[in-house]
Amino acid sequence: MTTPYRLVMTTCGTQVQARDIARHLVANKQAACVNILPSVESIYVWQGEITQDSEYKLMIKTHVNLLEAVMETIHRLHPYDVPEIQVIEICAGSRDYFNWIDEVLN
């Protein structure tokens, strides 16, 4: 089973950046809700070097029809050269919650 709902994840280097992206997505009805998780420790390779940073994780709740707009907004507003954008397909969940998403995004 699948649904038309998606969870989009990205990270930001500061809380201000995370809030700016989240507010823009919600204000423009591209996301029903964005959770910002503080203090995510990221270890990754960037330009050949192992890098370690503290970041903020955004969990963006949206509809499949809005994915392109959400990704374009992240690319446009994000300060990273290569922002993380991962999309998770929601296969099941609360019908009441999905109804709320539909209500907010329409």
57 vs 93: CA distance, rounded Å = 22
Nearest-5° angle of CA 64, CA 104, CA 22? 75
**Tokens standing for 42?**
């990221």
- Taking only the tens place, the pLDDT of each residue in 3-53 is 999 999 999 999 999 999 999 999 999 999 999 999 899 999 999 999 999
Helix 15-27 and helix 67-77: axis angle, to 10°? 140
What is the C-alpha to C-alpha distance for residues 103 and 101, in angstroms, rounded to an integer? 5
Confidence of residue 85 (pLDDT cuts 50, 70, 90): very high
Q: Which two tokens stand for residue 51?
A: 């890098």
Q: Where are the alpha helices (DSSP H) in 31-88?
A: 67-77
Amino acid symbol at 34: V
Count of other CB atoms within 10 angstroms of residue 61: 22
**Predicted confidence band at 77 (pLDDT cuts at 50, 70, 90)?**
very high
